[in-house]
Every structure is written in C-alpha cells, then in structure tokens.
Structure 1
Amino acid sequence: MHAQKAAIFDIDGVLVKGFIICEFPKYLDQQGCIGSESNKKIQLLLSEYIKGTKSAAEVATELPQVFARGLKGCDHQKVEKLGAAFMAIYKKNIFEHSKQLVKLMKQKGYLVLAMSGSPIEVIKQLKYLGFDDLYGTECEIVDGVYSGNVKTNLVIRENKETLFYALIKKYNIDIESSFGFGDTSQDLPVLEHVGHPVTVNPDKKLSEIAEQRKWPIVKNKTDIRGLLDF
C-alpha cells in the first residue's frame, strides 16, 4: 500500500464547542441511563479542572473511570441509540469553519481521521461530515452490557500518542505530508509529529506554543482561506 497523506482532527474545541464527555453524561442522566451521582461527579471534575484545583492529567484519568462506572449494567445498544439522539441535538454546536475544514481536506485527497477523548458512542455519529475513521474513549462491554471498566482512555495524552503511531502503521501514513488539528497541549503528540500542525481555537497554553513555533491558528472562515493554499 502506498503512503497516504492524512488529516487528523481532535473533536472537542476543534470541531465542536464544549466538552462532549461532560455534556453526554448530562443527557444520559436525563434519560435515566447513568447514575445522577456519576453525572454530578463528572461535572465537578470539569469544574475543578477549570478552576485549576485538579490537573489535566488527574482529570484525564478520573473522568472516564467515573463515566464507565456510571454506565455499569446499561445496555450497549440503548446507549448507542442515545449517542445518536444526543448528537442530533448537539450538532448545532459544530463550528461552521471546522466543518468546511473537514470537507476541504477530504476534497484534497487526504485520509480524514478523528481522535477524541470523548465517548465513541457520540464521536462515531460525526462520520457524516466526511471522516474515514473516528476513535474515541471506549468503555468495556461484556455480553452487550457495560461492565463499569474503561477499555480505551483517549483523554490521556500518552494513549492518544500510542494510537497515533498505531494509525501511522495501519494506514501507512506519510506524516511529513500530513496535517494535525488540535486546541490544547493534549494534542501535542499529533501536532509535534506531523509536517503541518494547525491549532484551531487554541487555549492559552497552546496559543503560546503556536506563536513560538509559528504554527497556524484557525478561529474562523477567513483563517481557513489563507491556511490551505496548496
């Protein structure tokens, strides 16, 4: 198989506004499919992260664990359907300029992939935008029911890096001709290795890194027009 050029996207903050991994549990709680205590704990973790009382690494480890425990005993197919119903509502939060970015990369012949720390049940619903494959955090399923354990935690930076290298091998990706799109330092495992790193709606820390390294910053449609002139 010949080497492929790829465009690898983060989702939360890059393609959509907000944190799906925090919004989806709210919806599941409303539908009676996750314990309200688990939902409250997830929202508390997010609050502590925003306030700076918990580090990104701590939240990255704890949040998926709380989510997985909350889903224990739930039917997998039911949660899959709720993932689709949730995205039907939440898609209004997709950034228009990011939708155009995905479409443009696809038109230019790039393999378009997504790597997200948010639940795969929701992330897979974004395939219609033009993604070839999408990867998200997965909870373990045994005999069609959630076990309460985490199978794959893509919130953790090191796990995202491991997946990145696995995808390079799986798809025979030429990283020098590939693009990476991210909004936080958690996306550095991709941004630092591709030939064309792009920051989209970057937070303060990534903005500083982007300015130092002269990486493009995308915040609107105008930024896209000047970015991909190739």
Structure 2
Amino acid sequence: MNLALFDLDNTLLAGDSDFEWAQFLIAKGVLDAELHAAMNEEFFRQYKDGTLDIHAFLDFQLAPLARHTRCELDAWHAEFMTTRIRPIITAAARQRVAQHAANGDLLAMVTATNSFVTGPICRELGIPHLVATIPAQAEGVFSGQPRGLPAFREGKVARVEAWLESMGLWWGSFAQSWFYSDSHNDLPLLEKVTHPVAVDADDTLINIATTRGWPSISLRD
C-alpha cells in the first residue's frame, strides 16, 4: 500500500476555500463587508508571502462559526458548495484523486483550512480521510477557537503522523508516498514524502522544486 496526500486550496481547488468562505459570508451579509473583506485580503496576502500568523488568522476565520447555529451554518455551507466550490474543482483534480484511489493507495486531504469548511469538500472529491485544523465545540456549538495543533506548516507533519499512528502506521509503512501542494508553506510535509509534487505552485515552491528535481504539474482544466 502506498500513501497519497493532497493539499486542498489552489491544489485540488482552482481557488482558496478559506478565502471563498469568508467572501461568501460577506456576500450573504453575515459579515461586515468593509471590515472583513479587507482583513480577508490581508490574511490571504500574508499566507502567500509566508508571513501568516496562523493563530491570528484562526481567530478571524473561526469567529463566525461561534455566532451562528449549526443548522444555519450547514445550510449556508450547502449553498457555498454549489455556488463557490464545485465550480472550482477541476476535472484534472478529480482524475488525479481517482487514479490514486484506483491504485489502492491510502488517501487523505491535508489542509490548514478548518474541518467544517473542508469536510464536505473532502467527501465531494471522494477522499476518505481528512487531516485539517479542528474547530473546538462545546455541546454542539463552535467556540470560535481551534482544538489542538493547527494543520499548518510543521503542524501538518505532526497531524499526519498522529493520524497514521492512530492506524498503527508510520512513514516506513509505505513503499511510496506522495504529497501534492501549491505552497511553499507546505515544504515541511513535502520533504517527508518520497514523491513531492508541486501543483500550480507559487514562485517560491517552483524554484525549490526546480532546484531539487521535483515534478511541477498543473491540475487546472
């Protein structure tokens, strides 16, 4: 058995689910347009620059979950999937996931975006396992804070290893392993697998991939 790990935003999606979720809530009038649009753009810029404070970002990203019922959130997310997410899942991304599944590989999506946003996307893509930042809950209500280590940078490695250990596995359990990502922020996990793959990558990751001889591909239609 081999292992195939997939980043989500700007990798399997031709866009960013974090950014799109905030923009969706702004368009719905759930978030203040002037304040939150500027903050959303700024956090997105910081992520691309490699300067993102993940805890400050999670304070911003998870706060709306705590202000609304799960029923409201689930209804909004269903609309979000239809209007914002399915249109940016490319056929090439679906095909790459399906290829690894057909090969009998163990598949997981590994993303810093919280599991409320990404769980339905993971299921839409047919990926059976999700390693994501977990929003904390109390009595079925989101608290607005993360639970445990965010799945970001080195946190992705730690969370993947904990997931593998929960099944009695480790890196050495696999003859081959893949991780697909667009971002230099994912370098720690890219360095752990036998087959790191840069996907529609940022300039920093493209340069690293070129220097190290990693494949660089596109999953955009």
Using the size of structure 2 for normalisation, the TM-score is: 0.85
The residue identity in structure 2 corresponding to 1:79 is L
**Alpha-carbon distance change, 207 to 200 in structure 1, aligned in 2, over 3 angstroms:** same
Contact 1:77 1:144 in 2 (8 A): no
Q: Distance in 1 between matches of 2:32 and 2:138?
A: 19
For 2:20 and 2:220, the matched residues in 1 are separated by 26
| Maintained 8 Å contact 2:2/2:177 | yes
2:58 corresponds to: 64
Task: After TM superposition, give the deviation of residue 153 of structure 1 in Å.
Answer: 5.9
The structural deviation recorded for 1:220 is 4.7
Counterpart in 2 of 1:227? none
Of 24-33 and 99-108, the range deviating more from structure 2? 24-33
The equivalent position to 1:77 in structure 2, one of 62, 71, 81, is 71
Letter in 2 for 1:201: D
**Residue in structure 1 matched with residue 103 of structure 2 by the alignment:** 108
CA drift of 1:87 comes to 1.4
Deviation at 1:202, TM superposition (A): 1.1
Deviation per residue, 1:76-115 (Å, 9 max, x gap): 2321332232112221111321211001000011111001
Instruction: Look up the match of 2:216.
Output: 217
List aligned pairs for 1:1-230, cutoff 5 A: 4-34=1-31, 36=33, 37-38=35-36, 40-47=38-45, 55-58=50-53, 60-89=54-83, 90-126=85-121, 127-152=123-148, 154=150, 156-171=152-167, 172-173=169-170, 174-220=173-219
Quote how far apart the aligned CAs of 1:130 are: 2.0
Which range is displaced more, 104-113 or 165-174?
Answer: 165-174
Do the aligned partners of 2:12 and 2:219 also contact (CA within 8 Å) in 1? no
The percent identity for this pair of structures is 24
Could you tell me whether the CA contact under 8 Å between 2:110 and 2:151 is conserved in 1? no
Q: Specify the code of the residue in structure 1 equivalent to 2:198.
A: T
Q: Deviations over 1:95-138 (max 9, x none)?
A: 32121100100001111100111232221112132201123223
Moved more, 195-204 or 100-109: 195-204
Gap runs ≥5 in structure 1 = 223-230
C-alpha deviation, 1:42, in angstroms: 2.4
Return the alpha-carbon distance in structure 1 between the equivalents of residues 103 and 157 of structure 2.
25
- What TM-score does the superposition give when structure 1 sets the normalisation length? 0.82
Deviation at 1:152, TM superposition (A): 4.8
Q: What is the DSSP-based 3-state SS (H/G/I as helix, E as strand, rest coil) of the residue aligned with 2:44?
A: helix
TM-align CA RMSD: 2.4
Cα pair 2:97 2:125 within 8 Å, conserved:
yes
Alignment partner, residue 225 of structure 1: none
For 2:103 and 2:78, how far apart are their aligned partners in 1?
Answer: 29
Contact 1:112 1:133 in 2 (8 A): yes
Deviates more, 1:10-19 or 1:161-170: 161-170
Number of aligned positions between the proteins: 215
Which segments of 5 or more consecutive residues in structure 2 lack a partner in the other structure? Answer: none
Whether contact under 8 Å (1:34, 1:71) holds in the other structure is no
CA gap 1:49/1:181 in 2 versus in 1, 3 angstroms:
closer
Alpha-carbon distance change, 195 to 175 in structure 1, aligned in 2, over 3 angstroms: farther
